[in-house]
Amino acid sequence: MRLAALIVGIVGGLVGLILGILQSVAGSVVVSAGIPVGSSVIALGAGSIILAVIGLVGGCLAMKLPLPAGIIMLVPGVVGFLTSFLLWIFPGLLFIAAGALAIVGRKELAKE
């Protein structure tokens, strides 16, 4: 399960990075069009990128430190829904699944 947590966490991080960059680019386009709400979209995109990097770090730690990695992936999985709403559905679900897999998979480490 730790290997699955690693893979799902990394995929969630990469998808989150791509969506965060797209969100920031969309905000830049909106700002250049003269719509004032674009700066908040850019900020939310930057927040999505930060959350994706945090989750990606958690995914990379899943093999060696499954419990902390699981917690690290659960936090951006939940917080991303609060900040980016519908944009965060796919990476958020991936982070939550990876976090759960890492926490459940910590027992594998004790057996080895």
What backbone phi and psi angles, to 5 degrees, belong to 65?
-130, 75
- Per DSSP, the residues of 72-105 read HHHHHHHHHHHHHGGGGHHHHHHHHHHHHHHHHH
State the pTM of this model. Answer: 0.90
Output the pLDDT for position 110. Answer: 58
Q: Compute the distance between CA of residue 8 and CA of residue 56 in angstroms, rounded to an integer.
A: 10
Cβ proximity of 61 and 10 under 8 Å = no
What confidence tens digit (pLDDT) does each residue in 51-74 have? 999 999 999 999 999 999 999 999
In the predicted model, is pLDDT for residue 112 greater than 60? no
The vertex-97 CA angle with 91 and 101, nearest 5°, equals 140
Output the pLDDT for position 78. Answer: 94
The domain segmentation of the chain, as residue ranges, is 2-111
What are the residues whose beta carbons fall under 8 Å from the beta carbon of 57, sequence distance 6 or more? 13, 72
pLDDT band at 49 (very low <50, low <70, confident <90, very high): very high
In the predicted model, is pLDDT for residue 37 greater than 90? no
Please compute the mean of the pLDDT values over residues 70-81 and round it to a whole number.
94
